[in-house]
Structure 1
């Protein structure tokens, strides 16, 4: 590419905070998609996607060379020191252009080709369907109807083509209400609870100081009427009231209580996108501070206000969820209804419905509340060159809030921290087309489902990595109730200091729990097979007739053996195993590792790839050794498992198994 002026620079040093060792010189490579630093002494590779690069800054010259600071959207901060200033300048100018494409068509997702043939282009695009999600909630029904009046996106171009509205609402009411709402975002159903209370969403009304709209008033009355068991409906404006009042000067604002009957209004102080952007910038500055004083970090954390903002979104969502659970329908809006509204609705539904706390359900929640209803991912995440004032960490804040809930009640969530971090990383990586565009219409116009890969296709292939070993769906079958005192909202070190390798524990407790869960699963399956084989051996040993005689002992022994054979026959009736032989028993016993290597002391894979805090270590279920993801890329049935489900194995074990197993062995 012409943009890449220097694809390789040698004798570059990468500086790391909290590491006392002198950085070793390595080689820096600049490709069409990544910046790669290879440290031969520590056998380590650092890959930085161009789309993850948030800013590039040339620092003042030092006696050691010319430093280049690269800040990333996934909170990696890397400083590279070049021996020659021209090399530093060439990398600087190239990175500036590569990290800020001009057109959406230049994004990585339109050129990405996976290394593995197992990930197919259509995978994941059919995972979610809005009409299926409505049917899961029992819609359409007597009071709610699905309408395709927005099929051509003429009513609202930032809403999906399929809308759920009150069945009694006429077309005239819907159109009139849409014209009275900012960006045409009329009230529509987001979630229907089992008690018929619902969460609806919209944008602010164009009320100004005195304007009113009869169709809008009728629409809100129809929304209230969808829940006949409750006379009141709540309208939750997620903005600070002073901000909503200021919007009246521009002809917008909030609902006039004198014009809307049987409705109670609440304001929540969730700040706007500019405050959130500044807050996160201050948090990042605090995390990158060169001083290690505790007071400096705590004062920086407090002055950023980030935890306070995360808590405010959780409090709004908690109020909405509690209201719906009590049987009250809630209408949520902010200014345009695609930032704070998406946060509040999604978090409230996460609290209310255990389905959304599963991996598949969480994907459906993101698709519905964020993608389908028009959160502006392209603008808020800064995928291409644009007005920097449009960039804001709204989705980052949502992911943080979900993590806070998962820490309060770990058993309620099927997914783990790694899953949330993977989602956050790939929102900004632009490697997949899932989050490209500002609305559903944009994604259709770009034909993303035909031209790009889906993130959901990738996550479906690695569910074991993202599953929380502590998940127990029986503990929280309904709404999730959590307390939100200030003490429980924590700084998420795994997100904002993930790449500061000197500040993390050697092993994450949840990762250890996952290792133990996998080992336990393997052992249980192996034990079931051994119990089966023991039963077969007992039957074979007892097949000989009991000694002839009329004694009571002889008769009792015969009855006992007959009962044992009968029980054994029942257990084995539906199981087909290879014939019992010494060779087969040896093969089964050798195919399952009883002892697994402890992950604590393992620093690198056999391929010399180093492990860090974020690198997941994978066990081979046959030999019990630890490998990196690239080396443990085979799945094979183990003869020593009863169920016969494919298990992860290393390449040497895979070759042994495929050469020695019988013809009926299967690979994943």
Structure 2
């Protein structure tokens, strides 16, 4: 539950108190209580339950699942960043693994395993780390095996107006040397230029082209987490309008600025992808601290560059590597614990929406469907598994999450059949190579599946993708029924839960306490993740 509000209802038709619940999946519930006392009691209980003070109160750590250790370990080994580095041909004669952060002493928000340029000495690594915000020095994120160009990530330098670091300048030069096909690199500062300049007054800022002679600066203009949080709230208000006029809807969409921000994130990824694939130039990406906008830009570029990341397993690996292991602050951004609400921001939401926008232009390029993106977002805030708990790899290890919970990826992979995009064709030209999206404003749409979860009673029109998915699911069910019938005809046992070889699916009803049951009116069915 993201927000709870009590309102008093007094009219000819209703008399009582209304409890309004706004959930993190953007559904809104209205609970009507004849007695104000009952409403206040439920409000107090839900407020406390929705704001846990410690990780031990979260769902995945407060239960003791009846499973063995082997099954839990298997869930955590399904998706590993090390597998992705091996897939990219690392280590090689350009990029090597370093143990400098094996105990998280150099940077406590970076993973223990890092790949750096072969030309960067241990002294250069430490000096660069001291000169970068939060110690987040330039390290490898993605390596393009054809052009030998690389996407690297870091945080802003602590340069101020005139500060400099010889080791950090050598570190950036080392990144350039790791690409034999280019004599310079792009430094992509994902922030608006004015914001980056303002940070200089606080002793931070961005690289000077006078001090770093081998760079070309590029500003992407992605706004900060506070602007994004406010913008998302405004587009939610648009989605909750019941009977808006066309002018009200378009005005609300424009005033939210949301699609403008989505375009900025995609534009950053497009610039990086073109530099890597077309120019063969390496790119160093950073924002302020290097765990929000940097993660967005690097991962969007990777999806554009690499068909593997457009598969289900590939996207899991990408998020595990560029978001989870590199210290995106999931607990802060999704408000897992009772903390500063100003730390909450839809950073991952924007990345998932960029993927959805790309899928609208390239419907055959992605192995997964919209449901996969929506469920992935739900699992990021529901705390059903341990993957998205904590703000860094170090913090997750201190919580012993691999011993106390399961990985979210095993849950998604187990249900992969329902996430399959029936239009996906791995052998077609659209799914191979670099995606080159059209980023003109008219190509961006409002993601109705996310921001309008409560539909009107009339069923929405079925899309071709939904139709093909239902046909595919029905075909699989018929094939299973046929196989079961053939087994029974051959004298084999009927499958459990079936009669004459036909599978039956049961649904579990939702039971509410009598006091609450008669007072609930909701704009959509109650789900498990209030």
Contact 2:268 2:297 in 1 (8 A): yes
Contact 2:119 2:177 in 1 (8 A): no
Taking the aligned partners of 2:301 and 2:496, their CA distance within structure 1 comes to 41
1:477 aligns with 2:432: yes
Residue 492 (structure 1) aligned to one of 443, 447, 452: 447
Taking the aligned partners of 2:424 and 2:322, their CA distance within structure 1 comes to 24
Residue 302 (structure 2) aligned to one of 338, 349, 352: 349
2:124 aligns with 173
1:203 aligns with 2:155: yes
Distance 1:352 1:637, change over 3 A: farther
Cα deviation for residue 508 of structure 1 reads 3.9
Contact 1:202 1:331 in 2 (8 A): yes
Cα deviation for residue 651 of structure 1 reads 3.6
Distance 1:133 1:155, change over 3 A: same
1:66 aligns with 2:14: no
Distance 1:292 1:67, change over 3 A: same
Contact 1:358 1:415 in 2 (8 A): yes
Taking the aligned partners of 1:650 and 1:139, their CA distance within structure 2 comes to 48
Contact 1:119 1:457 in 2 (8 A): no
Taking the aligned partners of 2:486 and 2:43, their CA distance within structure 1 comes to 55
Residue 58 (structure 2) aligned to one of 92, 96, 107: 107
1:364 aligns with 317
2:36 aligns with 85
Partner of 1:67: helix, strand, or coil?
strand
1:379 aligns with 2:332: yes
Taking the aligned partners of 2:140 and 2:57, their CA distance within structure 1 comes to 36
Contact 1:123 1:456 in 2 (8 A): no
1:154 aligns with 2:105: yes
Query: 1:413-446 deviations in whole A, cap 9, x for unaligned?
Result: 0011011010000111111111000010011111
Cα deviation for residue 655 of structure 1 reads 7.2
Contact 2:53 2:338 in 1 (8 A): yes
Taking the aligned partners of 1:263 and 1:67, their CA distance within structure 2 comes to 59
Cα deviation for residue 60 of structure 1 reads 2.4
1:639 aligns with 486
Taking the aligned partners of 1:648 and 1:282, their CA distance within structure 2 comes to 51
1:283 aligns with 235
Taking the aligned partners of 2:314 and 2:41, their CA distance within structure 1 comes to 46
Taking the aligned partners of 1:296 and 1:144, their CA distance within structure 2 comes to 53
Contact 2:131 2:165 in 1 (8 A): yes
Taking the aligned partners of 1:112 and 1:358, their CA distance within structure 2 comes to 32
Q: More displaced, 75-84 or 307-316?
A: 75-84
2:275 aligns with 323
1:56 aligns with 4
Contact 2:481 2:502 in 1 (8 A): no
Cα deviation for residue 622 of structure 1 reads 2.3
Partner of 1:499: helix, strand, or coil?
coil
Written as runs of structure 1 = structure 2, the 5 A alignment for 1:21-36 is: none
Written as runs of structure 1 = structure 2, the 5 A alignment for 1:393-542 is: 393-475=346-428, 476-502=431-457, 505-519=460-474
Cα deviation for residue 400 of structure 1 reads 0.9
1:216 aligns with 168
Contact 1:181 1:205 in 2 (8 A): yes
Length-normalised TM-score, structure 1: 0.71
Distance 1:289 1:519, change over 3 A: closer
Distance 1:119 1:132, change over 3 A: closer
Contact 2:79 2:409 in 1 (8 A): no
Cα deviation for residue 131 of structure 1 reads 2.2
Query: 1:251-276 deviations in whole A, cap 9, x for unaligned?
Result: 00000110111211100110000000
Distance 1:445 1:293, change over 3 A: same
1:333 aligns with 286
Taking the aligned partners of 1:113 and 1:508, their CA distance within structure 2 comes to 41
Q: More displaced, 198-207 or 476-485?
A: 476-485
Cα deviation for residue 127 of structure 1 reads 1.3
1:578 aligns with none
Cα deviation for residue 505 of structure 1 reads 1.3
Query: 1:92-146 deviations in whole A, cap 9, x for unaligned?
Result: 1111000000111111111246699999433421012222211110111111100
Written as runs of structure 1 = structure 2, the 5 A alignment for 1:195-274 is: 195-274=147-226
Query: 1:540-559 deviations in whole A, cap 9, x for unaligned?
Result: xxxxxxxxxxxxxxxxxxxx
2:84 aligns with 133
Taking the aligned partners of 2:503 and 2:413, their CA distance within structure 1 comes to 28
Taking the aligned partners of 2:208 and 2:385, their CA distance within structure 1 comes to 44
1:75 aligns with 2:26: yes
Partner of 2:179: helix, strand, or coil?
coil
Taking the aligned partners of 1:192 and 1:217, their CA distance within structure 2 comes to 21
Query: 1:334-392 deviations in whole A, cap 9, x for unaligned?
Result: 00000000000001001100110100010000000000100000111111111111111
Contact 2:119 2:178 in 1 (8 A): no
Taking the aligned partners of 2:228 and 2:144, their CA distance within structure 1 comes to 31
Taking the aligned partners of 2:474 and 2:93, their CA distance within structure 1 comes to 50
Taking the aligned partners of 1:116 and 1:511, their CA distance within structure 2 comes to 35
CA RMSD after TM alignment: 2.3
Q: More displaced, 437-446 or 477-486?
A: 477-486
Taking the aligned partners of 2:503 and 2:311, their CA distance within structure 1 comes to 37
Unpaired stretches in structure 1, ≥5 consecutive residues: 1-52, 523-591, 594-620, 624-635, 642-646, 658-668
Contact 2:484 2:501 in 1 (8 A): no
Unpaired stretches in structure 2, ≥5 consecutive residues: 489-493, 505-530
Length-normalised TM-score, structure 2: 0.89
2:481 aligns with 622
Distance 1:243 1:378, change over 3 A: same
Contact 2:154 2:286 in 1 (8 A): yes
Query: 1:2-24 deviations in whole A, cap 9, x for unaligned?
Result: xxxxxxxxxxxxxxxxxxxxxxx
Larger radius of gyration: 1
Q: More displaced, 466-475 or 180-189?
A: 466-475
Distance 1:516 1:412, change over 3 A: same
